Amino acid sequence: MPVWSQLSMLEDCPIHFEGVPFRSNDTDERLLTGSGGGHVLLTSTQLIETLAHFSRERIPERSVHAKAAGARGYFEVTDDISDLTDAAFLNGVGTKTEVLVRVSTVGPEKGSADTVRDFRGFAIKFKTAQGNNDWVFNNHPVFFVRDPVKFPSLNRSHKKHPGTNSPSSDMFWDFHINNQESIHALMFLFGDRGLPSSVRHVNAYSGNTYKFTKAKGSYSYVRIHLISNQGIHYYTNSEGVEIAGKVPDSHLLDLQNAIRSGDFPSWEVYVQAIQPGDIGAAPIDIFDMTKVWPKALYPLRKIGRMTLDQNPRNWFAEIEQAAFSPSNMVPGIEPSPDSMLQARMFAYPDAARYRLGVNYQFLPTNAAKSEVYCPTQRDGFMNFTQNYGTDPNYVGTKLKPVEFSNKGQPLHSEATSALNHVRVVLPLSTASEVKDKDFEQATALWHLMGKQDGAQARFVDNLSAHLSDVSEMWIRQEAYKMFTKVDLTLGERVESRTETKLRENHAHPHKTGWH
């Protein structure tokens, strides 16, 4: 039994964090004066430690995904996909795996309201028998950019102006009219699903392309979908702003209340798969996360169901300190030639090292359930493990030989003439170009809205409410031109609605999550 537990039972008094009991937790030591005041002494250890700890309670806020709801639960395999992957937690109908889930807004700060128009991050940590596997998804199937170097700029343009420290619609649209591959994601953002009513009512999508592998060398490229069994529910702009003013933590509380009442939310998990030999026939670049894979060509295959049934007992310990990274993959899952995925595989654990410290993987909420042995990574701030004792801390040791897993993709399993293999030896400076094809799926989404009662009108209203806050006329004009490429009438409707709002000086009922 831990020492602090024994003392708590033996003595009815507060315990100092060094284990020393105190008579009271609200006293200090001082020299009293005759006037009623006094001089606090440096021997007031309890006071000094209390003040010092209070100044250090906050850790760096996430640069993105700062505000979130979170819970625990499990994933259960319901369908056989053993022809696609050897990943143990995805095989064997009935197999259950513990999960930790964090669903967040992207741009706003930690103290912001939940009911804002924004993408949602949907991070899942599977604590498998083979180690942690993280899926770090979004609630929309596409993203704004496909070149990783643009990722920081995208997020800066969605945050606060460096001069005013307040949101800027000019900055937001200046980025997007000059990086128009974002048009598909903008169609989702300003559509109905851009302002969900709760985190229970959103889907989740990998966006990135992964590899599902087999030990004998075969593999498939996949995208993963989680479809909410609660359905898709959303708020209008006016509903969102009203709730934001009354219950700013509504999404967080909604999830906690649902679980507390036994109404456990769940998601069906599906996968789309493409064989390497079929890449050339694909109508889109399968590694471009601004595009969806047509379901008619690549149908969904069910894998299982995820259910959330446990609220965190301590928010900071379990959710704030949680760290997720796309680089956490178990045998049977590997990265694809998706440049955005590859960049995220570095950026996410690097952000965790900055925010939580180099030993963040050992925090209980992040720790793997399987055995961890990596003596070449040791020491560092806040290492509360045995630090591998006297084991060698370098590679190639014969003093204490180590064994390695032979699970995974065999090297050089296929001729390098394949479309998904590197064929250029020297590195090249590359940047993608925006072409007419980048607007095709956005146009299809606009036409789909036309089949939903009032969806196009709501989209135009949502978009014009944001654009009417742009002060530079030329930025608005370029935005109208961009949406005209989606559909001529769309561009005209957005321009008419926006400029009318400006002329009549209408107050916008609500802006996007970043504004």
508 a catalytic residue = no
C-alpha–C-alpha distance, residues 189 and 206, integer Å? 17
C-alpha–C-alpha distance, residues 114 and 244, integer Å? 7
- Which three-class secondary structure string do you get for 318-372? HHHCCCCCCCCCCCCEEECCCHHHHHHHHHHHHHHHHHHCCCHHHCCCCCCCCCC
Q: Which residues contact 81 (CB under 8 A, 6 or more apart)?
A: 90, 91, 212, 271, 301, 303
C-alpha–C-alpha distance, residues 177 and 175, integer Å? 6
Report the DSSP pairing between strands 219-228 and 204-205.
Answer: antiparallel
138 a catalytic residue = yes
Other beta carbons within 10 Å of 143: 23
Matching residue, tokens 């440096």: 42
C-alpha–C-alpha distance, residues 347 and 224, integer Å? 21
C-alpha–C-alpha distance, residues 393 and 339, integer Å? 32
Q: Is 210 annotated as a binding residue?
A: no
C-alpha–C-alpha distance, residues 138 and 209, integer Å? 13
Q: Are 283 and 298 in contact (CB under 8 A)?
A: no
Question: Which amino acid is residue 249, in one-letter code?
Answer: D
C-alpha–C-alpha distance, residues 482 and 130, integer Å? 47
Matching residue, tokens 């359905």: 231
As given in the structure block, the two tokens for residue 501 are 């709002």
DSSP for 33-48 reads: -TTS-EEE-TT-HHHH
- Counting runs of H as helices and runs of E as strands, what totals does the chain give? 13, 12
Among candidate residues 132, 138, 420, 462, the one labeled active-site is 138
CB half-sphere exposure, 239, CA atoms < 13 A: 10
Q: Which residues pair with 75 in a beta bridge?
A: 97, 306
Q: Which residues contact 359 (CB under 8 A, 6 or more apart)?
A: 380, 381, 382, 383, 384, 385
CA distances from 170 to 152, 415, 474, 478, 493 (A): 17, 49, 10, 12, 20
The CA R_g of the chain, rounded to the nearest whole Å, is 26
Binding site residues, as ranges? 348
| Residues with a known catalytic role | 65, 138
Binding site residues for heme, as ranges? 348
